[in-house]
Structure 1
Amino acid sequence: MRRAAFALLVALVLLLPLSAPSRADGPVVLTVTGAIEKTNRGPFEPFSDVLFATLQESFEKAYALTLDDLGALPQQTVEVGYPNWPGPVTVTGPTLASVLDLVGATGSQVLVQAVDGYAPAFKIDEVRAGTFVLATAQGDEPLALGGRGPVWLVFPAGSYAGQTAEDDSGLAWAVFHLKITAGE
């Protein structure tokens, strides 16, 4: 009986890495929900997911990412500036498209939600064709909460249909949630 229990325990330990994607250590800074194929956390829990509850967001499945997870993806450095800014900034982070690929996004639209509730939506086709970066650093410094971080969606002017060179709307700072939907 002990051998059977031990064999079962060994089998479970060996199969555990196959049952869920691994996640780096550290606090979760970005959660992806909606039309995704890969998950690594359970559904919405009102007490633990208080920001989601406050913003009236819930989900059945999700993929949670730490800064280490985002740093493990291929990094892109981009210089971005708009006329109403004091000057251009150089930021680094994974592309939004690489995060969509990581989670197996199957929808046609991504809602990028910031902690203040601001939530611009983009067509996934435009995201894949453009340079949408989930910046985690400006220069050599990590982006801080209270500034524009820890995750800031940035992209050059003209990255999506209808965006003008002066229009910096859609650049969401303090991003914590990506929601993949079928769109309109």
Structure 2
Amino acid sequence: MSALPRVFACLLLLPAFVSAALADDRWQSQPEGPVILTVTGPLGCCPEGVALFDQARLDALPQTQVKTLTPWTEQVDTFEGVSIRDLLVQLQASGRFIEAKALNDYHTRFEVQTVLDYPVILATRKNGEPMPVRNKGPIWIIYPLSDFPPLRKELHHQAMVWQLKSLTIVE
């Protein structure tokens, strides 16, 4: 192969490398708005192991809905947000457990496998409206309890952290 085709091939690949580098940096850089979620741990996208999210960054990720009744609500509500599975894929996270921590320092640990098996979301909206801190926001981990009876256990209820501020991926 002559030098010219090699240079041309490298130029074709350059945008992919630059794009990947920019994608990595977007999770680590300070977001424009207030940070509402910090994700730490072994994150392939982030050499420092820290990804920061404001509302806009979370909203930019693919959104999904879960309609469910919870132990803390009186009716079936529609929750919208990013699936934890999708977030882990975006961040290239690896680990066996997720430690979730709330604004009031409540914390719990649950298995990554649960969010791979079920559509568990980081809800930022309830019935189409943003959730303020006084109403379990800005982020509430929502399990699809109504659709999956095996999730209707205290173990999973304890993992439905509201006023979520951080996730830590651990082995």
Establish whether TM, by shorter chain, passes 0.5.
yes
In structure 2, the partner of 1:178 is 167
- Cα distance in 1, alignment partners of residues 149 and 101 from structure 2: 18
SS class of match (2:25)? coil
- Cα distance in 1, alignment partners of residues 33 and 120 from structure 2: 24
Task: Determine whether 1:25 maps to 2:32.
Answer: yes
Deviates more, 1:86-95 or 1:156-165: 156-165
Name which of 104, 113, 121 aligns with 1:116.
Answer: 104
- Cα distance in 1, alignment partners of residues 156 and 82 from structure 2: 23
Larger % of helix: which? 2
User: How far apart are 1:76 and its partner, in Å?
Assistant: 0.7
- Cα distance in 1, alignment partners of residues 69 and 34 from structure 2: 30
In structure 1, the partner of 2:41 is 34
In structure 2, the partner of 1:134 is 122
The answer to whether the 8 A contact 2:98-2:168 is kept is yes
The answer to whether the 8 A contact 1:131-1:159 is kept is no
CA RMSD for the aligned pairs?
2.9
In structure 2, the partner of 1:93 is 81
User: Superposed, which structure 2 residues align to 1:53-64 within 5 Å?
Assistant: 61-64=49-52
- Cα distance in 2, alignment partners of residues 65 and 26 from structure 1: 9
- Cα distance in 1, alignment partners of residues 169 and 72 from structure 2: 30
Structure 1 gaps, min length 5? 1-14, 41-59
User: How far apart are 1:36 and its partner, in Å?
Assistant: 1.6
Kindly report structure 1 stretches of 4+ aligned residues shifted beyond 4 Å.
158-163
Identity in percent = 25
Give a deviation string over 1:76-104, Cα, whole Å, max 9, x none: 11111135632222110000111111211
User: Superposed, which structure 2 residues align to 1:2-17 within 5 Å?
Assistant: none
The answer to whether the 8 A contact 2:120-2:143 is kept is yes
Give a deviation string over 1:43-95, Cα, whole Å, max 9, x none: xxxxxxxxxxxxxxxxx631101111111111111111135632222110000
Give a deviation string over 1:22-41, Cα, whole Å, max 9, x none: 2552111100011222228x
User: How far apart are 1:172 and its partner, in Å?
Assistant: 0.6
SS class of match (2:37)? strand
Structure 2 length-normalised TM: 0.75
Give a deviation string over 1:144-172, Cα, whole Å, max 9, x none: 12221111101123869775389633211
User: How far apart are 1:133 and its partner, in Å?
Assistant: 0.6
Return the letter of the residue paired with 2:60. Answer: A
Are residues 125 and 166 of structure 1, via their aligned partners in 2, closer, same or farther at CA, if it must alter by over 3 Å?
closer
Structure 1 length-normalised TM: 0.70
SS class of match (2:134)? coil
